[in-house]
Amino acid sequence: MTPGVAKSLTFICTPASRAQEVGRCLGVQAGEQRLREVVSSGGFTSLRRAARTPFNLVLEARP
């Protein structure tokens, strides 16, 4: 992801998320810990990192 794309997502997607009732503002900057919290609060009991690169994080959630 280029810096320009990341900035665009921050300036467009984050305010749009904040405007929603839940307003979690996860976006590209959420990070693994925050995603774990959200997945756990959704009722999933198992979460593992399936893959990670400098640009991507793939998590696998199971009930």
pTM over 0.85: no
Question: For 2-60, what is each residue's pLDDT tens digit?
Answer: 777 777 777 887 788 888 888 787 766 788 898 999 999 999 999 999 999 888 889 99
In this predicted structure, what is the pLDDT of residue 8?
77
User: If you search the block for the tokens 């979460």, which residue do you land on?
Assistant: 47
| Joined tokens for residue 46 | 């198992």
Give the pLDDT score at 1: 64
53-58: long-range pairs with CB below 8 Å, 24+: 55/1, 57/32
- Residue 17 and residue 15: Cα distance in Å, rounded? 5
pLDDT for 23 equals: 77
